[in-house]
Structure 1
Amino acid sequence: MSMKTATHKIPVQHCRDFTQEELLADMRAFRDEVAQSPEKARAFLKSIGVMRDNGEIRHLIHD
């Protein structure tokens, strides 16, 4: 699954046009969609750069 196919009801550029409740509902719906399967969760983590293609978790905060 590509995160490009994930459904967001509210485009990022239009976030200011919606209420806080509407934005939270959209975020919750996206979270529920991503959490439906391990494959979807991995695809999301890879799309935001937290997981490498080989499944290794990247350490984004360095000491």
Structure 2
Amino acid sequence: MTDIQNATPLCPDCGKPLEELVACGARDYFCNSCNELKSKTRVREANAAFFAASSKENH
């Protein structure tokens, strides 16, 4: 496994790792530090390099 596969996206507000919630094909992000769900759009914008690298590995 590479570092990208072991990494998790970071919260756009506090910068702490997010918990990924996957159910019925939907993927959501929860920050235990902020104690709230985070918008997928904001998470992707704040972690653009993470998602770009992970999409390259999936293809």
TM-score scaled by length of structure 1? 0.30
Greater helix share, structure number: 1
Say which one has the larger Rg. Answer: 1
TM-score scaled to structure 2, two decimals?
0.31
